[in-house]
């Protein structure tokens, strides 16, 4: 702060003439170290932001690519069987939700937790259908799967209720847009 506006002798006079004890105890060397640290930070911060954004994009492309690859493989496996079961369709729906989640995170830089809950509900439903088809008599396992599905559905309800009634104006802004508008 001082280094850009004042010469060194003016900085020394200003630091020792201030009334606050913290500023009075700061020596001339501390002011130079602080301004040098600030200059280094001003040069290094954009590089750090660039690397972090690059990592996010690389990770998102990798996750998105793996999701598409798995969905295409599952589709070809269904085609090879000659038919699609309800479990296969629910698996494709899970891939669709994962792809949507990656797309939303790519555009907004927010992780949509509800989509993860939807994936969990779909996965439990898929597992329950397979369990019911393979087991002849209903047992406690079906109740556990149904209870897990109910808990996830209640979590979705709570999140939707809270985001509707307690949302802030900051949640509607995209952090990426705020970063790029500076």
- In a domain? residue 68: no
Average pLDDT, the chain: 78
| Number of domains into which the chain is organized | 2
**Do 91 and 58 belong together in one domain?**
no
- In a domain? residue 166: yes
pLDDT at residue 105 above 70? yes
**Do 88 and 158 belong together in one domain?**
yes
- In a domain? residue 79: no
- In a domain? residue 47: yes
Give residue for tokens 């995170």.
105
What is the structure's pLDDT at 170?
Answer: 53
What is the structure's pLDDT at 76?
Answer: 94
Single pTM value for the model: 0.61
**Do 88 and 176 belong together in one domain?**
yes
Mean pLDDT score, 144-158: 95
**Do 104 and 148 belong together in one domain?**
yes
Mean pLDDT score, 58-66: 91
Mean pLDDT score, 112-137: 87
**Do 110 and 182 belong together in one domain?**
yes
Confidence bin at 124 (pLDDT 50/70/90): very high
- In a domain? residue 52: yes
**Do 49 and 99 belong together in one domain?**
no
- In a domain? residue 71: no
Q: Which domain holds residue 133?
A: 84-182
**Do 90 and 143 belong together in one domain?**
yes
**Do 120 and 168 belong together in one domain?**
yes
What is the structure's pLDDT at 131?
Answer: 84
**Do 51 and 106 belong together in one domain?**
no
pLDDT at residue 172 above 50? no
**Do 96 and 41 belong together in one domain?**
no
Could you give the percent of the chain with pLDDT greater than 70?
Answer: 73
What is the structure's pLDDT at 43?
Answer: 85
Mean pLDDT score, 68-83: 93
**Do 181 and 107 belong together in one domain?**
yes
Per the CB < 8 A criterion, the answer to whether 70 and 94 are in contact is no
Confidence bin at 180 (pLDDT 50/70/90): very low
**Do 95 and 182 belong together in one domain?**
yes
């Amino acid at each position: 702060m001082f280094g850009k506006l004042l010469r060194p002798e003016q900085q020394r006079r200003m630091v020792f003439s201030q009334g606050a004890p913290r500023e009075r105890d700061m020596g001339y060397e501390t002011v130079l170290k602080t301004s040098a640290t600030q200059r280094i930070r001003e040069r290094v911060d954009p590089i750090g932001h660039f690397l972090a954004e690059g990592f996010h994009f690389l990770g998102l492309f990798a996750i998105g690519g793996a999701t598409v690859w798995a969905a295409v493989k599952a589709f070809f496996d269904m085609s090879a069987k000659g038919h699609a079961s309800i479990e296969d369709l629910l698996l494709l729906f899970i891939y669709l939700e994962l792809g949507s989640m990656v797309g939303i995170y790519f555009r907004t830089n927010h992780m949509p937790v509800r989509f993860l809950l939807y994936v969990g509900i779909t996965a439990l439903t898929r597992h329950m259908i397979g369990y019911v088809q393979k087991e002849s008599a209903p047992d406690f396992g079906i109740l556990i799967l149904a209870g897990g599905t109910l808990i996830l559905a209640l979590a979705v309800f709570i999140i939707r209720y809270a985001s509707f009634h307690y949302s802030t104006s900051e949640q509607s802004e995209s952090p990426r847009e705020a970063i790029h508008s500076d």
